[in-house]
Amino acid sequence: MMALSQNYLRRQDTRRRVMFSALLECRGVTQKVRVADFSPSGLRIDQTQGLAIGDPVEISLAPGLKLKGEVAWAVWHKAGMKLLKPLSEDDAAYLFLAEQANAIERARTLALVAIAKERGRD
């Protein structure tokens, strides 16, 4: 029987880019990490240390806003966190993450407009 590709196990949900610091707890150790993207089923986190596939983790996105999951993959200083319970669009954590993504998208749009205006002056 053929083994399943690791790509088969990847999140199928649309990912949205974010960039903010959070606190991740694993096996009693807390570390500061950077959340890089999210989908309703998981997060990609950077600046991690010592995580292994299957580790149970809890991430504090903001005061009073925590998510539980497990490490789905880990490579060097990056990891994927599969949420134990997928987020619905009315979940407080989803709304927080969506606002973080919207802020990045607004900044990107403003930067592109500024570049276009600058090039239009040339």
Q: What is the pLDDT along the chain (122 residues), one digit of tens a residue?
A: 444 445 445 556 789 999 999 999 999 999 999 999 999 999 999 999 999 999 999 999 999 999 999 999 999 999 999 999 999 999 999 999 999 999 999 888 888 888 888 888 76
Q: What are φ and ψ of residue 101, in 5° steps?
A: -65, -40
Q: Which of 55, 20, 17 shows the shortest CA–CA distance to 38? A: 17
| Helix ranges, the chain (H) | 92-121
Q: What is the pTM of this model?
A: 0.82
The number of residues making up the chain comes to 122
A 10 A CB-CB count for 54 gives 10
Domain extents in the chain: 6-121
Query: What pLDDT score does 11 carry?
Result: 54
Angstrom distance (rounded) from CA 45 to CA 23: 10
Q: What is the CATH number of domain 6-121?
A: 2.40.10.220
